[in-house]
Structure 1
Amino acid sequence: MSLPRETSAITLSLSDENATAALAARLTPCLAPGWVVHLVGPLGAGKTTFVRAILRALGHTGPVKSPTYGLVELYPVSGLNLYHFDFYRFATPEEFYAAGLEEYFDGTGVCLVEWPEKAAALAPGADLTITIEPRPDGSREVRLTASTPRARQCLNRLAAP
């Protein structure tokens, strides 16, 4: 008897913001302290919208803004400290350390990182990478890629019928 193969990536088509919110709601039970999630995609792809949907699924009712200028926003919600980062303005990866952001990745919170490639290899690696590609019809193609065993377990739950 062979065991089912673990899923390490899932690609989905999301037709609109409601579909994004539904995916975020299915993802949130996986999130626990120490998780790092990278959100990748061009400007306007929907990275902040995805973070907002995660926060709403966790019960946050206040505003959710992109941390482009402040670099990080903290949301204490559902017993989690959720940190929303945006590295878009980094001119060099070293700005990650210059900004003192490494202390947030100590394993006590959930870190959602927009534009992680701007910090290159200096920022901690992701458990889960969410790549969002907009399509001309307004829909989004979303690829979830697991890099750790706990993220693969999460994708297996998402892929289950």
Structure 2
Amino acid sequence: MSQSPTPSPPTAPRKPARPAPEPEQVALAARRSMQLGIAMVLTMLPTFAAFPARMLTIPFGIVAVVVGVRAIAAGVRARSGSLLLPAVAAGTILAAVFTLSVASTVLVWDIQERDARCRAEAITVQARIECNDRLNADLESWRDGLLDRARGGSGS
């Protein structure tokens, strides 16, 4: 008996070549990425300021997140395939987390304000240590009151 040749498997259809990104879209993605960098710097700068001015981080952070989302969209449209898109996504997530972190201090505004006054009046190292101790005690008391209310306690 003669052996018949085994049939060769059908060849898979080839994927069409990826179209080259348009230079205008790549330039837009790069511009938006640069804008995100600037917005991130503006978000971080107020953190070095005194307490009430530190809250400027929130609007700058919101702007950074919006710019970041627009940069991600521009990067996807540009199909650049570089590491730019993951870096922009990471920067956008960082801006969102940082903004939420600073925004959460609004919950303890009165404690933060009292601490800022204490530190402004503190002349000696001992006075600054006392301010820090008072801040920690106030935050712990606030947290305990919050937990008591969550458990259904009186909270007072």
Higher RCO (CA 8 Å, separation ≥ 6 residues): 1
Q: TM-score, normalised by structure 1?
A: 0.22
Which has the larger Rg? Answer: 2
Which is richer in helix? 2
Which is richer in strand? 1
